[in-house]
Amino acid sequence: MWQPGETTEFSASDHIRALHRHAGGKFLDFAVVNIRPIPSALRRRYARQSAMPVENDLGTLFKMGLKVMAANLSQPSGKVRHDPAATAAVLFKLAQQGRRRLASV
């Protein structure tokens, strides 16, 4: 979700660009994006606070040279929050892939 006044109208690629800018260069190989739909009632409640879901602009992410890992990462509740178990599972999978890649070099 956007953070009003901070990341308003940011897409996924905007978030990546901001990370690269703050780090002083490109350092990410993957973008991890949530694909679980946010219920309409919850979207309306957030919209009243000028917060909308971050757009997963996959085409732009691919053009940036990133691989994309998409998963159901939000936790169904009264607020939009990351699901810690789902997020950890994705990160663990990426770490395993990286380890295998290093072992094969």
pLDDT, residue 98, reads 85
Whether the Cβ atoms of residue 72 and residue 36 lie closer than 8 Å to each other: yes
Q: Strand 81-82 relative to strand 67-71: parallel, antiparallel, unpaired?
A: unpaired
Residue in 48, 68, 47 with CA at minimum distance from that of residue 57: 68
pLDDT, residue 20, reads 97
pLDDT, residue 45, reads 95
pTM of the model as a whole: 0.87
Segments making up each domain of the chain, as ranges: 12-103
pLDDT < 50 stretches in the chain: none
